[in-house]
Structure 1
Amino acid sequence: MRLLRHRSARCFRARHGRLIARHGSAQTRQRWIPRLLASELAGIAVTEPHGGSRPAESRTCVVAGLDGTWRVTGRKTWISRLTEAAVFVLFFRAPDGGLAAAAVDATEPGLHRQPIPPTGLAGWTWGVLDLDEVTICQEDVLNGDGMLLLREHFAGYRPLVTATALGGAAAVFDAVTTRLSARRALGDLPRLRDSTLITLGRTHVQLATALLGAVTASHLAEGGHPAAEPWGAAAKAHGIDTADSAAAELALLLGASGFRADCQTAKTRRDLSGLLYADGIHDSLYRTAGKQHTATKDAAGVTSVPTPRDRLASVAMTG
């Protein structure tokens, strides 16, 4: 589990910055990529008060100025890295009515923050981001349709979130097995119950296979495969469900010490509980994945999504 924990925790600190790296203008890339590579953070602002699952219905909109700039006004909610981000990738409704995205300097005077203490996920600040006529220059607007950029981005981002959650659960696994081994060495536990061994064996397999699903989703996303989005959605929902339930079951093996407020296991469980809701309600993610199994066929009898054999072939080629 230690290998799983360390590999799963590989940083995705600049992951939102990949939108800038892939779709930003030359000026925008030159401005932000060196700073992100130097460990500054990028945030992403998509969700709005009326719901995060409907980005196409964004109410954050821009007004075109006479000088060619845009002025954007609106409210974004449940934003992570609220005060730490150096730049936000902001999604909004463009003058033509479509969804667009731009790199917005976090020091812009029209940005106003309202931090909200979360129950978990407390590594970075989190809360509401208000925009009051924030200036956007044309070179800051990312190239491409905003909805396509968003879908492509989260197809690759969700597997990283999943791997991080599984790494947290793997850390709980290591803490539990270390504690049990120490108690046996001291003679506190003459033997481990069969139910304990079964829990450890089952949890190990669950975490490892969930990580394999996340790796598959990541491979598909990196290769631009059409199945990347449903794979990422399903892998994220399943992986975090798995991590959360595994950590809860493992914590029982620590006894009362696993439920102290200052216990790292208790903190990890709070974080995993937050991830059950962050980045998409899991029913919605499972529904996204389920759509591929009921896709209609075109006139030639070809389905709009790849067959399982095609998906496995893609994994082999990209691996």
Structure 2
Amino acid sequence: MLVQFVCGYRDIDLRDSFGLGHGSLIADHGSPGVRQKWIPRLRAGELAGIAITECHGGSRPAETRTQAVAGPGGTWLVTGRKTWISRLNEAAVFVLFFRTPDGRLAAAAVDATEEGLRRQPIPPTGLAGWAWGVLELDAVPIRRDDVLDGSGMRLLRQHFAGYRPLVTATALGGAAAVFDTVTARLSARQFSGELPRLRDSALITLGRAHVQLATALLGTVMASNVAEAGGAEAELWGAATKAHGIDVANTTVAELALLLGASGFRADCQTAKIRRDLNGLLYADGIHDSLYRAAGKHHVDGAKTTVPPPRSRLESAARTA
């Protein structure tokens, strides 16, 4: 997981460099034939996209309208419209979430070269390393072997419990790069005599930023460990620490950028790019307010049926980590 922190330090666009990214859904739940087809290609560097979001329902999979109907030769034909899809042009395979003919939520590995796929790229303000936009499906064939094993909702929850800590580590790596840029710039100006002394407010900002980034990263490591151990609260920790970590990265970089002066707001400045990318992560892989709300709901609903108080649940997660 810390590999992604280093990748984010170099460039947040490297957010899927460690592991298979969304391709881990295929590795963990695909049929033998699907795994044989895609895993070697993904390990060789090809990308997997994920198609969940729809315009009317946002990231709420329960609102999915993309629908399969019976097709020839035992296939399903899927029609629908997915929005805000990353890796739109670069993905070799999409993990598509859709409704089966009997209404169940399911997922399948869909070859990105299928003729029924149409793409409408939309230039984003941040996270522009991959193409982004609308993915339309017009009677795209899905064979039974393409369908991943398990209910769609369970697959989503399990996958994002482990995936969100990787995204968070990437974001915190980007924020750490800004921290180092700012401290190096201030040190150089002070050494040259251009800046006789640093104001106390600047030193406070630096001290607070360091502690916030370090503690957010520790929480992210904990969430990753809980997910790897298969902990019952892995989804909760993945969601909450992702929301918190992205918030910390955004607010910290916004404060640090002020210490760079006007140079930190040039369009070609790496700090400006990082700020755009971090802003995009407030929406990617779960809007942070929704993730906080899910965490809060878990604690309130859990208190109705769980005897141990919330503190003991925190301690249990810490022991698991």
State the TM bucket, normalised to the shorter chain. over 0.9
Deviation of 1:52 after TM superposition, in Å, equals 2.2
- CA contact under 8 A between 1:52 and 1:280: conserved in structure 2? no
Which amino acid in 2 is paired with 1:24? G
Q: Is the 8 A contact 1:226 1:306 kept in 2?
A: no
Aligned amino acid, residue 18 of structure 1: S
CA RMSD between the two structures: 2.0
Q: CA deviation at 1:173?
A: 0.3
Q: Deviations 1:204-233 (Å, cap 9, x if unpaired)?
A: 000111111111111111112121111111
2:75 touches 2:141 (CA, 8 Å); kept in 1?
Answer: yes
| Whole-angstrom CA distance in 1 between matches of 2:102 and 2:315 | 40
Q: What are the ranges of 5 or more consecutive residues in structure 1 without an aligned counterpart?
A: none
Q: How many residues align?
A: 314
One-letter amino acid of the structure 1 residue matched with residue 319 of structure 2: A
Q: How far apart are the structure 1 equivalents of 2:214 and 2:4?
A: 8
CA distance in 1, matches of 2:182, 2:252: 12
Partner AA of 1:6 in structure 2: V
TM (normalized to structure 1)? 0.93
Choose from 302, 307, 310 the match for 2:306.
302
- In the superposition, the TM-score normalised over structure 2's length comes to 0.92
Cα pair 2:5 2:171 within 8 Å, conserved: no
Match of 1:143 among 142, 149, 162: 149
What letter corresponds to residue 148 of structure 1 in structure 2? R
Counterpart position of 2:163: 157
Give the Cα separation in 2 of the matches to 1:205 and 1:7.
21
Residue type at the aligned position of 1:227: E
Question: Partner letter of residue 16 of structure 2?
Answer: F
- Asked if 1:6 is matched to 2:6, the reply is yes
Q: Helix, strand or coil for the counterpart of 1:16?
A: helix
Paired with 1:8 and 1:315, the residues of 2 have a C-alpha distance of: 26
Offset of residue 296 of structure 1: 5.0
> Structure 2 vs 1, CA of residues 296 and 257 (structure 1 numbering), >3 Å: closer, same or farther?
closer
CA deviations over 1:5-62 (Å, ceiling 9, x no partner): 5276685342100000000000000000000000110000000011223212211010
C-alpha separation in 1, matches of 2:43 and 2:4: 25
Q: In the alignment, which residue of structure 1 is the partner of 2:138?
A: 132
**Residue of 70, 76, 80 corresponding to 2:86:** 80
Q: Percent identity?
A: 70
Please list every run of 5 or more consecutive structure 2 residues that lacks an aligned counterpart in the other structure.
Answer: none
Q: What is the match of residue 257 of structure 1?
A: 263
Structure 1 297/245 Cα, relative in aligned 2: closer, same or farther at 3 Å? closer
| SS of match in other structure, 2:118 | strand
Amino acid in the other structure paired with 2:160: F
